[in-house]
Structure 1
Amino acid sequence: MDISYNKILLVEDDIKLASLTSEYLKESGFNVEHIEDGDKVIDKFNQFRPSLVILDIMLPGKDGMTLCKELRNIFSGPILMLTARNEAFDQVLGLEFGADDYVIKPVEPRVLLARIKALMRRISLSPKKSEQITFGELEINLDARRVSLQEKEVIVSSHEFDLLLYLAQNPGKILSRDQLFLKLYNRPYDGFDRSIDVRISQLRKKLGDDAEEPFRIKTIWGKGYLFIASAWSNC
């Protein structure tokens, strides 16, 4: 998929909020397309080919969680969820469905813009020359931010890609949650946030690791996670 790093698809059924958000983002240099009907999002996505999707949870037609899961089958870029303050948004469930981040409505424009820029930064900072990391039948392409196993593309979220890349860049080294949070989120681990655990679980599922006894991305209890370089041959 060709990527233009300023294209945002806004999925929001609150017309006033969508209009204000679209105008603010356009003034900030983004190309924004808005849609309010959940049943039409996939078609609109395929036509517009955005680099980031802002997705409300409560929508007419398909809800945001369902759409997030469907988009993850065809889209590896960032997905930012919108949730009203009184909605029972399950952060873990959102991460499992493929969301990269979420913002609570009513949205403070500057906060939304900061979150968008942080997510965009992850996909726009490509190496100057093509780089690829290979372990057996696992290939991680840094330029395209693409993962493949046995020559088949594995669709991962932006944060899942960054997590896998960091693990693969440190094979045989135990990486603690503190290290992972500082590297990926620029903040220390607070002892409660489960986002790294959820994303590790999702990576294992997508990369054919054993959920009960993982042998590719191991959990070292009380210490952290370990990427096994020799576990990717003869997958």
Structure 2
Amino acid sequence: MERLQKVIAHAGFASRRKAEQLIIDGQVKVNGKVVKELGLKVSATDRVEVNGIPVEKEEPIYFLFYKPRGVISSVMDDKGRKVVTDFLPELKQRVYPVGRLDYDTSGLILLTNDGEFANLLMHPKNEIQKVYVAKIKGIPSREKIRGLERGVQLEDGKTAPAKAKVISIDKKKQTAIVELAIHEGRNRQVRRMFEAIGHPVMKLKRESYGFLTLKGLNVGDMRELTPHEVKQLRALATTKPNN
């Protein structure tokens, strides 16, 4: 027996929070009757419908994907550009990305059909550390790197403390490679942080997500997460990060 909102989320209809709202709004039926009770548990034999569409209980699946640049972190694009799900093998489940990476950013992104899991990882209070490597214009001073670590003022508020280090510099080309670890997930945050200190990003890659890395993968490759990795991610999401 599982909670109704969890079954809806696992089926890929919505996150658990949105599934709860669907129930409250009377858009969900169980065995032909409208249900507005959030605590209701259903079994595999119960017939669940959302706005008249049957909910088929799916086995949750979890993928780690090495997203190339020039790919949209979505399941579809009205401009016909490539999306992350184009790289998936043929599946019965409806899989979608957990969060997003910008079109021009490469690196690690997760995909799943488990709405509750995705919602847990993306919740602002449960942010997992993400490590990025950026090629930037100019060579940042030690003070600017310390500024990134203390937090920089953006239009949507000051960023949380981060970890930053210069990996290499090219004096001739006046560029630098900098590693930046953050726990937040604001829109284009890493790019905006570097812009705020006067060093625009030329190229950006997400190297890791929590304990997960791109080891063994080439650009465009994908692999399934192990059950242990999924369990570890759930544990990380409920543990306050240490900066």
TM-score, shorter chain, exceeding 0.5 = no
- Greater helix content: 1
Bigger Rg, structure 1 or 2: 2
User: What's the TM-score bracket when you normalise by the shorter of the two chains?
Assistant: under 0.3
Alignment TM-score, normalising by the size of structure 1: 0.28
Alignment TM-score, normalising by the size of structure 2: 0.27
- Greater strand content: 2
